[in-house]
Homo-oligomer: A and B are copies of this chain.
Amino acid sequence: TIMKLGQVFPNEKVQTTQGELQLHDYWGDGWGIFFTHPADYTPVCTTELSMVQQMVPEFTKRNVKMIALSCNSVADHAGWCEDIKSYGKLSEVSYPIIEDPSRDLAVKFGMLDPEEKDAAGLPLTARAVFIVGPDKKLKLSILYPATTGRNFDELLRVIDSLQLTAYKKVATPANWQAGGDCMVLPSVKGEEATTLFPQMRIESVPSGKEYMRFTPQPQ
């Protein structure tokens, strides 16, 4: 079955390019991204894993640790990493890649794409992303097909929103980017709102309800 928001991400023991890992231990007290790709030695996946490596400094700055998975073996992953490094002009692939040739994990997390099959006719993993908070609960997920490479700038954008809104009493509006105005949560009422957000401004709307409350991004 597929993961729901708020569900604890299973603490699987996984075999990776960096040896055996327990997912929760790997993520420690920080944030985690678990992402899957259809297959090693394929074009879009190579651009994706290369871009993730280029963005590791951005993820590290945000206390986010990445882990990848496909249905290939660790040996395949290791060989393919040479291609990823060469394509991306990278000195390393520093995040682990999980093997799942049995597809046990892919089935468990609902990540198989029935439209994408390998040479033996077995389904491959879709381009899934799961963002897991320090509480190990699922915060956000995306599921793209094999044909459509992900937008890793959008992943940074949502991480910035998730981290901001986890600690401040705001939410982020449509198409928000880090540094942009935020919305004060409806649960923050009256004086608490004006104390917490002295620069709050309310846009009036025909209903007369005062819920369109903007504030500069809290620091």
Contacts and interface: CB of A to CB of B under 8 A. Distances in A.
A209 B170 CA distance: 49
Interface stretch (A9-17, A19-27, A46-54, A61-69): A46-54
Contacts of A203: 87
Contacts of A212: 43, 46, 83, 87
B207 A5 contact: no
Interface stretch (A97-105, A155-163, A190-198): A155-163
A143 B145 contact: no
Contacts of A2: 1-2, 4, 110
Contact of A126 (B5, B46, B86): B5
Nearest to A150: B174
Given A4-B114, A139-B145, A174 B87 contact: no
